[in-house]
Amino acid sequence: MICPVLLALALNIVDLNGKAYGHGVPFAMITMAGLTLMTGICPLLVCCFLEGFPGWGVSLVPVTTILATLSSCCLVVLACLIAQSIVSKSIFITVGVICGILVLVRIVCYSVYDRRNNDGREYTTYMHNVLDESHEFLIGVTGILFLGFEGLALDGHGQTGDNIRELVGYISFIICTFGVCLMFLEMTPPRWFAVHRHGSNQERTEGEQQIVCLTLILDCIMAVGIFVLLLVVMLKLTSPKVALWVLLPPAVSFGQLIVLVVVMENTEVEQESSPASLELTKATFTGFLAVSITTISSTSSSNLTGSFLLLSSMAIGFGLSWRLLSQANIRRGLSSCVSSAHVASAAKVASFCTHLCIVISTILFVAMDCNANGK
């Protein structure tokens, strides 16, 4: 998330002396970007170091908790510093203060109540797996949104009066900052979802179901944020009929579950699957971002460009749907009405559609490049 900011500043891609950035903001932005990058890496380094020297007697949890809190706060501050070029001052200050308060309130509750009240309650292995998968999804989606937000802000150089840029900037900034809060919530999950070590199977099942519901809600919030952003961009750059095709991937991916339940009988065989990677989705979003920002800046769009934006946005939609369908919380959440085998089948269809849309959008991207170079 942070590397594009540092790279743009280091290569002087952004005019930090322009009117968009006030006095002292360039130094603050560079410092905060570097600090955010370092605090994001330090927790892993601390874990590796303390595991290599267990005799030091240093508790791992307090150190990583402090570093995770600092990293989250730095991300919010950095987002606010970047946002000032396209978001009004009152908005980015208000959103930044709210998100900062949410992070600080959560860490206080976690440190004072959750960790000190050791009443024998803990998270099961399944709970940790569900939280890890969901946290990885939130990181991926927030990273995608942060990348788009950075590109939009740094490319615009403080241009005002551009309604498309401002609207997309507002949406990206708000979802990014609250995405950081959701990521931090899953890093410090509430204690009341934990179960007793020697609790009954029913208590464990109820606790696991609550964690599944929590992660599903958080994942859906961020996924909806991505689709809203894609829809807004497509509505501004293409016709409404074309833009509405962005909603096809989730409709197909999850709608086929209803067809599978009606046509095929539910099977009792449990089918496990590992969560799909978001790397293809990130790469596709990078291409979508580059073309859409250029199109917004030039306020012109050809049929070839519109086709690429549509196919790449559908690839992003199918990629997110594929990831969600392959997560454990979806299988557990739908287990009462849909078998895991049907969910796995739907994930395979979403995977196929993701790769198909990426192939077609790649061909269109090459055609756009050849057309631009007059070949």
Quick check: 345 pLDDT over 60?
Answer: yes
55, 70, 108, 166, 369 from 59: Cα distances, Å: 11, 18, 18, 46, 54
Distance, CA of 117 to CA of 337 (rounded, Å): 37
Distance, CA of 349 to CA of 346 (rounded, Å): 5
| Contact by Cβ (8 Å): 171, 34 | no
Closest Cα to residue 368, out of 297, 250, 287? Answer: 287
pLDDT at res. 14: 53
pLDDT at res. 1: 59
Identify the band that residue 218 occupies on the pLDDT scale cut at 50, 70 and 90.
very high
Mean pLDDT of 76-94: 83
pLDDT at res. 114: 58
Higher-confidence position of 322 and 118: 322
| Contact by Cβ (8 Å): 78, 99 | no
pLDDT at res. 344: 87
Distance, CA of 91 to CA of 81 (rounded, Å): 12
Buried b (16+ CB within 10 A) or exposed e, 21-41: beeeebeebbebbbbbbebbe
Mean pLDDT of 297-306: 72
| Contact by Cβ (8 Å): 304, 239 | no
pLDDT at res. 158: 45
In terms of Cβ atoms closer than 10 Å to its own Cβ (0-12, 13-18, 19+), residue 226 is buried
| Contact by Cβ (8 Å): 320, 226 | yes
Token digits of residue 20: 């968009």
pLDDT at res. 160: 47
Distance, CA of 307 to CA of 315 (rounded, Å): 12
* Among 7-21, 201-215, 229-243, the least confident range: 7-21
| Contact by Cβ (8 Å): 56, 50 | yes
Distance, CA of 17 to CA of 263 (rounded, Å): 63
Quick check: 24 pLDDT over 50?
Answer: no
* Among 113-122, 183-192, 195-204, the least confident range: 113-122
pLDDT at res. 156: 53
**Whole-number average pLDDT of the chain:** 80
- List of E strands, the chain: 121-122, 195-196
Quick check: 327 pLDDT over 70?
Answer: yes
Compute how many other C-beta atoms are within 10 angstroms of the C-beta atom of residue 330: 25
pLDDT at res. 157: 46
State percent of the chain over pLDDT 70.
80
pLDDT at res. 300: 59
How do residues 244-280 score in pLDDT, each as one tens digit?
Answer: 999 999 999 998 888 887 777 666 556 667 888 888 8
Mean pLDDT of 326-336: 83
Distance, CA of 123 to CA of 296 (rounded, Å): 47
Quick check: 53 pLDDT over 90?
Answer: no
pTM of the model: 0.84
State percent of the chain over pLDDT 90.
15
Higher-confidence position of 149 and 215: 215
pLDDT at res. 154: 65
**Local structure of residue 65 (DSSP, 8 states):** H
Identify the band that residue 349 occupies on the pLDDT scale cut at 50, 70 and 90.
very high
Quick check: 18 pLDDT over 80?
Answer: no
Quick check: 149 pLDDT over 80?
Answer: no
